[in-house]
Amino acid sequence: MRFDAEWIRELLEGAPGRDELASKLTACGFNVEVREPDGDSEIWDVDVTTNRPDAMNHRGLAREAAVACGARLKPLEPGLEESGEAASDLVSVEIEAPELCGRYVARVVRGVRMAESPQWLAQRLERCGIRPINAIVDATNYVLMELGQPLHAFDLARVAGRRIVVRRAGQGETLTTLDGEKRALDPSHLVIADETHALALAGIMGGADSEIGGDTADVLIESAYFDPLTIRRGARTLGMHTEASHRFERGADPEMAPVAADVAAALIARLAGGTVCSGRVDVNPRPFRSAALELDTEKLGAFAGLEISVDESVRILEGLGFAPRVENGLVHVHVPSWRVDIERVQDLYEEIIRHVGYDAVPARLPVLPAVPGQRRGHWPLVDRARDAAVSVGLAEVVTYSFISPEQDEAASALPLVTAGPVTLDNPLARTQAIMRRSLLPGLAAAARLNLNQGETDLALFEEGRVFVLADGKPAEGERLGILLSGRTGPWDRREAVSFGDLKGLVEAIVERTGFPALTWKRDAAGALDEAEGAVLLGPGGRPAGYAGLLGTQVASKWELRQPVYVAELDLDRALAEVPLPHFHDLPRFPAVIADMTVEHPASLAYADLEAAVGRLASPLVERVELVVRYSGKGIEPGSVRTTLRVVYRHRERSLTQDEVNAEQEALRGRLASELNVRFA
C-alpha cells in the first residue's frame, strides 16, 4: 500500500528522519518495500498485512511508528465548526439490517460550491495512488487515507424523502454503480437506499443516481461500519474490489465512524465552502464493547525466550492504544476498537515481541529428544526410484501436473491408464484443465521441446503423481516415467536407441527400486508400437508398468519427428521396502560350462525357452546365460538361433566333464521333445 512519508511524519511529535522511520517500521512488521522520492517527500510502498486494516492509513501507521521510534502520535483535532440547522432535521437514518450494519453516522454540509482541491491535498492523494476528482470526493478520500474510514458523499437533493434506509437488496433489484455498470442484486447484498430505491452498494461503491455533481449544494456524508463478511461476499459475487471494500472486509473501526464524519465535514466546509449542520445522525444498534485481557509478563517471557519487563510491556501497549493498567503484577488491557485482530492474550505477545524487536530475542536451539529422524510416506520409495533412474543415466524433468484434454485423450490408450480423469473446476487455461493420468504427456511435450532445441539424444525421466477418479473420487498415485530417443552409447559406439536399451534401463530401475517379480508381455492396447511394446505384469497379472516404442499415432500428437521409446512404472506396485541383501556362501568347487545352440521358431519367446530350460535341466545347473542370438544368413526364415551357456556345479565335489556331457545330452533330449527346437 502506498503512503506519503511526510504525511506520516507530520502526524508524529518528535518524528525521526525518513531513513530511521522506514527501518523502524520494517522492524516492527510494516516492511517499507519501495521508497520513491517525490518532491519534498517520498512515496512509500509499505506491506501492510491483511490482518491489520487499522494500519492501512497514515494515522494507523503513524501509531505504530510512534511506538517503534519513541515518538508521540499527535491528538486528532477535527477543527469542526457547526452552525444552523441540526442534521437530524434534514435527514433520517434507519437501519433495517442491524446484523449487517453495526453503525451508521450521517453529517450534512449545506451550501457547498464545487471546486478543485488545493495542490497540497491533490498531491497527497496522488502519492497514495488516488486520482483527485473534486474537492468533496477528494475530501472523503483524504479522510480514508488519513484515518482509514471509508466514507461516501451523497447529493442530499437526490435522496428521496431525505431518508436513508440501510437494507438488504430485493431479489432482482438493480443498481447502476459509479463505474456505470448496472448491477443485479439479491438479498445477500446490502444497499443504502432512500424512500424509493437503492442509492449505493453499501461499503463497496456509490450509485450513479446520487453522485455528487457540479450542481450539488448539500452534501450528505455517510460514515458507517459494515459487517466484513457481507462486504466481502458482496464484492466477490459482483467481481468488485474497491478501497472501501478492501477495508470493510478486513474490519473497520466502529468508533472511528463519528470522528471521521466530523473530520470530513470540516474538510469539505474548508475546501468547498458551505456550513456544517450541527450534530450528527448516529444510529448505533450494536455498540462496540472492548474486550478485556490480562497479560502475565512471565508467561510472555517464557514464550518469547526473552525476559520482558512489565514497564516495557506497558509502554508498548500504551502506545498502541490498549490503555494498560497494572494490578498484582498482571497487565490489564482493553482491546481498542480498531484492533480487529486481537482476541486473546497470545495476540498481545505478538504486539510486544515485535516492538521489543525480533533482534532482541536471543537465538537458542531447542533441546529435543535425540531420536533419529525418519523418512515417511512415499519419500523412501520415490527417492529410491529417482536414484535408480539417475544411476542409469537419465536426466530428471519436472512438468506440470495438469494437461490439455487432447493430451489426456492421446495418452488414454496407454496400459496403465484405466480410470477416468480428474478435471479442474477452475483451470487457468484449457491447456491445463485436466490432471494427468500418466506421466507420458509431460515427457512427450518435453521431448518435443528438446528436439526443437536441437537436442536429439534424449534420456529423460520424471517422478511424480498421477490423478484419477476412483469410485467417483479423485485419487493419486506415484509414477516413474522414462523417455529415450536418438542415439545412446559412448562416442565411438553411438547407436540408435533400441527396445533392448529401454528394457535394460527399466530392468535396472525395477531392480534397484524393489518390485515383486514382473513379467514382460507383448502389449496390444494400441498406444505403443505393435512390434515393440510390452506391458509389465506383477503378481496376479496386475499391470505394474509398460515399455516400448511410442506408436506413430500417439507420437504425432506431440509432433515427434523421431522414434521415441517410453516406459512408465506404477510405483504403488513396488515393494514398500527393499529387503536386506542376504549373503550366500561362495562355491568351493569349480563350475563346468557347457554351451548349447538351439534353433527354434521366432515365435518361441525367449522367456519361455529359458523357463523350459530351467524346468527341464538337472538340479546341478546353477544358472543359464544367453550368449548369442542370431537370425539371418544360414538360418531358415522365421527361425532364430540361440546359444545358451549352461553352468553346472556340484556343491560338494568337482564334476567331471563326462557327467556334464551326459546331463547336457539329456537336457537336449527333453527340450526337443517338449518344444519345437533343433540343435545346431
Partner 1 sequence: MSLQRLNEVRRSFLADLEAAGSDAEALEAVRVRYAGRRSGLLQELTAALRELPNGEKRDYGRALNELKKLVDSQLREAKRRTAAASAAGSRPMVDVTLPGRRPPRGAEHPVHLVRRRIETIFLRMGYSVEDGPEIEDDWHNFEALNLPPDHPARDDQDTFYLPGGSLLRTHTSPVQARVMEEYEPPIRIVVPGRVYRRDSDLRHSPMFHQLEGLVVDEGITFGHLKATLETFLKELFHGVEVRFRPSYFPFTEPSAEVDITCIFCGGKGCGVCSRSGWIEILGSGMVDPRVFEKLGVDAERYTGFAFGLGLDRVAMLLFGIPDLRLMFSGDQRVARQFA
Site residues for partner 1, window 18-57 (CB under 8 A)?
A: 26-29, 31, 33-34, 49-52
Interface with partner 1 (CB under 8 A), residue from 137, 263, 460, 677: 460
Strand duo 82-86 + 275-278: pairing: parallel
292 burial type by CB count under 10 A (0-12 exposed, 13-18 middle, 19+ buried): exposed
- Shortest Å, Cβ 654 to partner 1: 33
Short-list 647, 370, 415, CA closest to 524: 415
Interface with partner 1 (CB under 8 A), residue from 17, 239, 329, 373: 373
Give, for 41, the enclosing helix (H) or strand (E): strand 41-47
Interface with partner 1 (CB under 8 A), residue from 389, 535, 536, 671: 389
Interface with partner 1 (CB under 8 A), residue from 119, 171, 426, 673: 426
Q: Which stretch binds partner 1 (CB under 8 A): 78-86, 348-356, 561-569, 637-645?
A: 348-356
**Beta-ladder partners of 93:** 164
DSSP state of 320: T
User: Identity (one letter) of the amino acid at 345?
Assistant: V
Short-list 625, 620, 592, CA closest to 610: 625
CA 636 distance to own-chain centroid: 64
Instruction: Please count the CA atoms within 13 angstroms of the CA of 449 that sit on its side-chain side.
Output: 9
- Shortest Å, Cβ 671 to partner 1: 37
Matching residue, cell 482541491: 117
Helical spans, DSSP H, in 28-134? 58-69, 87-90, 119-127
**Residue 412, SS3?**
coil
Nearer to partner 1, 408 or 663 (CB): 408
Interface with partner 1 (CB under 8 A), residue from 14, 19, 328, 370: 370
Footprint (CB under 8 A) of partner 1, residues 280-309 = 302-306
Q: Which stretch binds partner 1 (CB under 8 A): 163-171, 312-320, 385-393, 560-568?
A: 385-393
Residue 443 makes contact with partner 1 by CB under 8 A:
yes
Footprint (CB under 8 A) of partner 1, residues 461-480 = 461, 464-465, 467, 472-476
CB atoms within 10 A of CB 77: 8
Nearer to partner 1, 323 or 424 (CB): 424
Nearer to partner 1, 189 or 386 (CB): 386
* Count of residues touching partner 1 (by CB under 8 A): 99
**Residue 156, SS3?**
helix
Residue 500 makes contact with partner 1 by CB under 8 A:
no
Question: Cα-flanking dihedrals φ and ψ of residue 186, to 5°?
Answer: -145, 175
Footprint (CB under 8 A) of partner 1, residues 625-644 = none
- Shortest Å, Cβ 254 to partner 1: 18
Q: Where are the beta strands (DSSP E) in 55-185?
A: 72-73, 82-86, 92-95, 101-110, 151-155, 163-168, 174-176, 182-184
Interface with partner 1 (CB under 8 A), residue from 118, 285, 393, 539: 393
Residue 617 makes contact with partner 1 by CB under 8 A:
no
Q: Which stretch binds partner 1 (CB under 8 A): 99-107, 484-492, 603-611, 666-674?
A: 484-492
Strand duo 639-648 + 621-630: pairing: antiparallel
CB atoms within 10 A of CB 593: 12
- The b/e string for 261-270 (b: 16+ C-beta within 10 A; e otherwise) is bbbbbbbbbb
Nearer to partner 1, 63 or 649 (CB): 63
**Residue 678, SS3?**
strand
Matching residue, cell 534401463: 505
Nearer to partner 1, 396 or 595 (CB): 396
Q: Which stretch binds partner 1 (CB under 8 A): 75-83, 135-143, 286-294, 483-491?
A: 483-491
Footprint (CB under 8 A) of partner 1, residues 501-520 = none
Residue 394 makes contact with partner 1 by CB under 8 A:
yes
Residue 651 makes contact with partner 1 by CB under 8 A:
no
Footprint (CB under 8 A) of partner 1, residues 209-268 = 229, 232-233, 249-250
- Shortest Å, Cβ 389 to partner 1: 6
Q: Measured between alpha carbons, how far is 166 from 653 in angstroms, rounded to an integer?
A: 104
Q: Which stretch binds partner 1 (CB under 8 A): 195-203, 443-451, 543-551, 595-603?
A: 443-451
- Shortest Å, Cβ 289 to partner 1: 21
Instruction: Please count the CA atoms within 13 angstroms of the CA of 97 that sit on its side-chain side.
Output: 20
Residue 445 makes contact with partner 1 by CB under 8 A:
yes
- Shortest Å, Cβ 96 to partner 1: 23
CB atoms within 10 A of CB 216: 21
- Shortest Å, Cβ 1 to partner 1: 14
Residue 427 makes contact with partner 1 by CB under 8 A:
yes
